[in-house]
Amino acid sequence: MKKKKITFVINYFYPDFASTGQLMTELCLDLQHDFDITVIAAQPGYAGEEVKSNRIFETDYLENIKIIRLRLPKVDKTSKFSRMKYIFSYFILANIALLKEKVDIIYTISTPPILGGLIGTIGKFIKRAKHVYNIQDFNPEQAEAVSYTNKQFVFDVARAIDKLNCRYADQIVVVGHDMAETLKKRFNNKNVPNHVVINNWTNEKEIIPLDKDEPHVAEFLERHNLTDKFIVMYSGNLGLYYDLENIIKVTNEFRDYKDSAFVFIGEGAVKRQMQQYVAENGIENVLFLPYQPKEFIKYSLNAADVHFVVNQKGIKGVSVPSKIYGVMAAGKPILGVLEQGSEAQLLIDKSNCGVVVEPKDYKGIVEAIKYFYSLDREQRKQMGLNGRAYLEKYLKRETSINKYRNLLKSI
């Protein structure tokens, strides 16, 4: 039987550090024997790596997966103009690359905002293919939450286009039950397009709970002068949608806690601002590190005593921070800065693996850190292991990937 041809148009893909890129890489690798897969993605550059190739379209392979890599202008994440130039270049080149492919199903993702889905809408009609639209973040709702622009008509036009993408998609995949509610709200609960909730995941066989004396973890702690310290960690995108430029200010309350450290791992639009605050205030127990190699994340996650999982106010039902799955897999307690009723807040609540405070409640964040600090190691360990147990029961990687496999076969 001939395999269905699926083209994934997904911006970030192996070896990029973006969490969606890592998820989509794992998905494609797991589905490569069921389908004939082509991926259209940007040249790796999420963490500012130099692009080696001069060719606009370059064909590459990862096992049985054909990858068409697009050469795009370098992006400065602090500049709106630079972001726009990058996004529109991607949109045009991805459309051209897609037109050259034979395809039965086009799988697109909601990055870049609106245009990611629009590539699938255009491709569906020109290629007479089916379109699966995976919404990882709802836009313009996400941009509205952080007042990305004060021009309301921009949001209105963007919403109209994305509603069109949703209406014409053969199937929409959202990554949280609260996001399914947002989709229904967009259509006033009338003629809501076909949709399904499939959680994101982490590789729970790869990321497992480890003690701080495990050799790789101990070496990481020693290298960064963190041995025997109580560590609050944030690992991921230091971007616009997390309020990190304000959350960083709570570190000032802990400047005299010499046995504590705050560790921020990652890159993003607000990193410079965060570093500036720490430098100007002479706070010595805050450390910024670059993204860790994918194969090392299982150790760096285990170096922390508690992990931040945060979202900006207004993001409930718009996005689910997928870092929560990695933290739960590592069996570490979570300090959630999340709205009540959001997918991540409900996960922490149901699994009893942490404490949640409302976004912008900085006093509450300080109190939560002090609470974790006051617990003994065994209490913290048990709280983290609650999360691991819940993940193993309900959120296994295999469960989510099988849902995708069955969905794509059914289309």
Q: What is the pLDDT of residue 52?
A: 66
Q: What is the pLDDT of residue 49?
A: 55
Collect the ranges in the chain with pLDDT lower than 50. none
Same fold across 5-201+396-410 and 215-394: yes
Q: What is the pLDDT of residue 19?
A: 84
Q: What is the pLDDT of residue 153?
A: 86
Closest CA to 105 of 123, 79, 122: 123
What does the radius of gyration of the chain's CA atoms come to, in whole angstroms?
21
Q: What is the pLDDT of residue 241?
A: 83
Q: What is the pLDDT of residue 143?
A: 84
Contact 369, 254 (CB under 8 A): yes
Domain boundaries, the chain: 5-201+396-410, 215-394
Helices in 135-280 by DSSP H: which ranges? Answer: 141-145, 152-168, 177-186, 215-223, 244-247, 271-280
From residue 215, give the alpha-carbon distance in Å to each of 223, 302, 306, 333, 378.
12, 12, 20, 21, 20
> Which SS3 state, helix, strand or coil, does residue 211 take?
coil
pTM of the model: 0.91
Q: What is the pLDDT of residue 381?
A: 97
Q: What is the pLDDT of residue 54?
A: 79
Q: Which CATH superfamily is domain 5-201+396-410 in?
A: Glycogen Phosphorylase B; (3.40.50.2000)
Q: What is the pLDDT of residue 142?
A: 86
Q: What is the pLDDT of residue 18?
A: 81
CATH number of 215-394: 3.40.50.2000
Contact 68, 58 (CB under 8 A): yes
193-242 per-position pLDDT tens digit? 999 999 999 999 999 999 999 999 999 999 999 999 999 999 999 988 89
- Around Cβ 372, how many Cβ atoms within 10 Å? 19
Q: What secondary structure does DSSP assign to 54-91, as a single string?
A: --SEEEEEETTEEEEEEP-----TT-HHHHHHHHHHHH
Token digits of residue 322: 């997928």
Contact 103, 129 (CB under 8 A): yes
